[in-house]
Chain A
Amino acid sequence: MRAYFSLLRIRFINGLQYRAAALAGISTQFAWGFMEILAFSAFYRANPDAFPMEFSQLVQYIWLQQAFLGVIVPWSWGGNITETIVNGNIAYELVRPMNLYNRWYFESLANRLANAAMRCLPILAVAFLLPAPFRMNLPANLGGLGLFAVSLTLTVLVVSAYVILDYISVFYTMSRYNAIFSVAADFLAGGYIPLSFFPATLRRILELSPFGAMQNLPLRIFNGEIAGSDAMWGIALQVFWLIVMVLLGKLLMKHSLKRVVAQGG
């Protein structure tokens, strides 16, 4: 366990070094959040009844998403894990007395935490101070906060497991830019538009899929769209997908390590 904790620590230290990148990231996320909110507000002004959620709920969704972007996105920060497969440095990871899946999982998790640690608070602070229609508010029902915390934690675990499947695919494709995996997942998990805005049938399918078990759930619990037993059901689904994806990842990892070729000399 000490080894994993130590990995977490060094990844964290490593991540904290990129202050300029964090600053740039924060401003990008502000700009992105504003643009999204402004675009939606134009639609809302045209016809406020045509939308599945209140404007204030949407504002909560977007700011929360931007604040926790570091931990919830279904892609990885710092691509050097996939790079080790492509350039052959994986040789060094394989001579360590560690399970490679667990190692990657923890590294991926640590990257996320380091990233979010630097970006989360400034974004939340400003979002809470903005003028009225754009201001972020706490949920009306504070009991939802606990469920939100549980669901957010599970989201982080689920996306980390998902990203490892992406890493493992690199063993087969030998390309570190498997963008389709992350872009598709981001869209299907409600990264661009909340799932509530999707056509009903598609929405229901997605809510049951692994993508619905990502950012979709905690963000919609926070803004009050999903509550009570629906939230509990969603959390159970998250646990289910987490187990499935970890087991699948471990299985695939075993298979791919048998055919691993350390590239380049």
Chain B
Amino acid sequence: MITLSGINKTFRVTKRQAGFAHAVKALFSREYEVIKALSDVNFTVGDGEMVGYIGPNGAGKSTTIKIMCGILTPDSGVCDINGRTPWRDRVAHVAQIGVVFGQRSQLWWDVPVVDSLELIRDIYKTDEATYRRNLDELTQLLDLGEILKTPARSLSLGQRMRCEIAASLIHSPRILFLDEPTIGLDAVSKIAVRQFIKRLNAQHGTTVILTTHDMQDIEALTQRILLIGKGRILLDGSLEELKKRSSERKTLVVKYSGSPPPLVTGMAISGEKDGRLVLELDPAIVRVNEGIAHLAAHCELQDVSVSDITAEEMVAALYKEYQI
């Protein structure tokens, strides 16, 4: 059980204008800007839940994760994870969690991956039987096999990320924090990683909190979404709920020849792409088939495609709505 209430965190960042004169001036007097990274963050995550934590860059996602991992101390507020305050009880707390920072590496660069894993086993005091069992399972599910014997420096990004995830699970953590676990991965690796996380959650009941910019991650993995912007939690709900909320609008991409077609109410031009007209259609006003029939009657249609709003667009709309 994870409970955050009233968490605030500010950072002090030095600022100066470009140029030599300002650099010299900064030697004597520094100007600071106080950035409010988190303000009054509240949420609760139950055991075995899988939560997608989304928001634009700089919204405070990583800061929240770092507070929950015990790395950062917030200015004020309460955070209780399985009865412990992460930053007060850091060592006891982190023994129970696993973390993947997608942009960093926990593997030793120059030694084979398996040496890193053995070190992690010893750090967490994982007994040999559990280690063997977890390693076998991870090797199989993440298709590690031969790459365990390779130094981390010679691995591709996708291979390395699979090893990073394995490294975070060696000690059977109850909670797994994934900070952008699919960043930079190709489609195949992304799918492999997602499937694995899903399975982990289903079979071991591991609580998973995931931050990402990849909406497919969210769609594939999580039922619940937390949206954060400018340090505040803006939305907390299920993906379905959010999709419903952000209208049922359809997108029509139309290719035509001749003069552009006139529109009926309920349709609006949202842009043009490679000589194709992109239209927004509100099915509450005009039905999709009527809209297409209208277009076909008034111009020479060559191609038309209809699509639902994607999670990505939904999030973009949410960002816009909340002006973050």
Residue in A5, A14, A89 whose CB lies within 8 Å of B105: A89
Asked whether any CB of chain B lies closer than 8 Å to the CB of A262, the reply is yes
Q: Which residues of A contact B99 (CB under 8 A)?
A: 92, 95
Given contacts A6-B122, A14-B110, whether A99 and B91 have CB atoms under 8 Å apart is yes
Size category, A interface: 20 to 34
Q: Which residues of A contact B191 (CB under 8 A)?
A: none
- Say whether B119 contacts A7, CB under 8 Å: yes
The 0/1 profile, CB within 8 Å of A marked 1, for residues 114-127 of chain B is 01101101111100
Instruction: Please name the residue on chain B nearest to A4 by beta carbon.
Output: B122
Given contacts A97-B91, A98-B91, whether A14 and B66 have CB atoms under 8 Å apart is no
Identify which of residues 67-121 in chain B touch chain A, using a CB-to-CB cut-off of 8 Å: 69-73, 90-92, 94-95, 97, 99, 101, 103-106, 108, 110-111, 115-116, 118-119, 121
CA distance A114 to B124 in the complex (A): 24
CA distance A94 to B91 in the complex (A): 9
Residue in B62, B94, B97, B125 whose CB lies within 8 Å of A265: B62
Residue in A13, A17, A95, A97 whose CB lies within 8 Å of B71: A95
Q: Which residues of A contact B119 (CB under 8 A)?
A: 3, 6-7, 9-10
CA distance A99 to B106 in the complex (A): 17
- Say whether B122 contacts A260, CB under 8 Å: no
Asked whether any CB of chain B lies closer than 8 Å to the CB of A96, the reply is yes
Given contacts A2-B122, A3-B122, whether A94 and B90 have CB atoms under 8 Å apart is yes
Identify which of residues 1-16 in chain B touch chain A, using a CB-to-CB cut-off of 8 Å: 11
CA distance A94 to B104 in the complex (A): 13
Q: Which residues of A contact B108 (CB under 8 A)?
A: 10, 14
- Say whether B101 contacts A92, CB under 8 Å: yes
CA distance A258 to B88 in the complex (A): 10
Residue in A2, A6, A17, A88 whose CB lies within 8 Å of B104: A88
The total of Cβ contacts below 8 Å across the A-B interface reads: 76
Q: Interface size on B (CB < 8 Å)?
A: 32
Residue in B66, B121, B122 whose CB lies within 8 Å of A91: B66
The 0/1 profile, CB within 8 Å of B marked 1, for residues 4-36 of chain A is 011101100110010000000000000000000
Instruction: Please name the residue on chain A nearest to B63 by beta carbon.
Output: A262
Q: Which residues of A contact B103 (CB under 8 A)?
A: 264-265
Asked whether any CB of chain B lies closer than 8 Å to the CB of A138, the reply is no
CB proximity of A61 to chain B, nearest CB, Å: 35
Asked whether any CB of chain B lies closer than 8 Å to the CB of A261, the reply is yes
Identify which of residues 99-118 in chain A touch chain B, using a CB-to-CB cut-off of 8 Å: 99
Given contacts A91-B71, A95-B70, whether A3 and B91 have CB atoms under 8 Å apart is no
17 CB < 8 A contacts A-B: A3-B123, A6-B123, A7-B123, A9-B119, A10-B116, A14-B108, A14-B110, A14-B111, A92-B105, A94-B94, A95-B94, A97-B91, A97-B92, A99-B91, A260-B71, A261-B11, A265-B103
Chain B residues proximal to chain A, CB less than 8 Å: 11, 62, 66, 69-73, 90-92, 94-95, 97, 99, 101, 103-106, 108, 110-111, 115-116, 118-119, 121-125
Known: A94-B70, A262-B71; 15 extra A-B contacts, CB below 8 A, are: A3-B123, A10-B118, A13-B111, A13-B115, A17-B110, A91-B71, A95-B71, A95-B94, A96-B94, A98-B91, A98-B123, A99-B91, A258-B73, A262-B72, A264-B103
